[in-house]
Amino acid sequence: MGKGKLPIINYSGGTEIAGGIISGNVISPMKPCAFAGALPGMDVDVVDEAGNPLRGAVGELVIRKPWIGMTRGFWKDKDDARYHDSYFARGDHLWFHGDFAAIDSDGQWYILGRSDDTIKIAGKRLGPAEIESILVAHPDVKESAAIGVPDDLKGQALVCFCVLRREVVNTEALRNELKQAIAKEIGKPLTPKEIRFVSDLPKTRNAKLMRRVIRSACLGESCGDISSLENPESIEHIRNSK
């Protein structure tokens, strides 16, 4: 792509940011899937659970100072409690964006998935994308989603949903093959409790996977506001999946 002449500029931001947080550029060195650093005007960092700067390990993406497009609250909220709890609850002077991130020894930045989607199994934290990338690497799997569900022994157990390619028939052999692929990559203790086959996964109109909705549907809970979904009928696919 680009025939070695056009730079590929990775860019990440958020609706509530009114723009970008970190990005690539045409001057700095590039690595696959990485970002060169913060956009101009953004005081960004990666921190541990105590809010200390973190390098060479996975932490939380935060913004340390106000920026030009910063909102002061949520539209029509009578007080700032929900706004504060959403972004500042873990530190009054740090805006938590809700993404896991890392900065390597060369100063390159990486976004590693939503921190609020984190699955914790027997004390080990997993990002859903880590599991999903293993599943979609299988030639029979078109899309996948991974969630954590309550488990008396491990705290949470892994449940995965897979959309298969059109010509593929779901079988127990395929289900076991996918479980073994995950066990091989990340360890047997993290083998999924279930792998379910579905015809579709809930996504927003810009193709963002809604793991919150998937988890609620799987557990038989209310899915809340689903007005942003492109395919609300997929919720029933989750509820009826096997």
Summarize pLDDT for 165-204 with one digit per residue, the tens.
Answer: 989 999 999 999 999 999 999 888 889 999 999 999 998 8
> What is the C-alpha to C-alpha distance for residues 203 and 33, in angstroms, rounded to an integer?
23
Q: Does residue 10 sit in helix, strand or coil?
A: coil
Instruction: Say if residue 224's pLDDT is above 90.
Output: no
Taking the CB of residue 51, how many other CB atoms lie within 10 A of it? Answer: 17
Q: Supply the residues annotated as catalytic.
A: 116
Secondary structure of 48-92 in HEC code, one letter for each residue: CCCCCECCCCCEEEEECCCCCCCCCCCCCCCCCHHHHHHHCCCCC
Which are the contacts of 18, defined by CB distance < 8 A and separation ≥ 6?
69, 70, 71
> What is the C-alpha to C-alpha distance for residues 20 and 1, in angstroms, rounded to an integer?
23
On whether the CB atoms of residues 53 and 45 are closer than 8 A, the answer is yes
**Mean pLDDT to the nearest integer, 141-154:** 92
Write out the H or E segment, with its range, that includes residue 109.
strand 109-114
| Average predicted confidence (pLDDT) for the chain | 88
On whether the CB atoms of residues 157 and 149 are closer than 8 A, the answer is yes
Domains and CATH numbers, the chain: 2-115 (2.30.38.10), 118-239 (3.30.300.30)
Band of the pLDDT at 92, cuts 50, 70, 90? low
> What pLDDT score was predicted for residue 207?
76
> What is the C-alpha to C-alpha distance for residues 100 and 126, in angstroms, rounded to an integer?
11
On whether the CB atoms of residues 210 and 218 are closer than 8 A, the answer is no
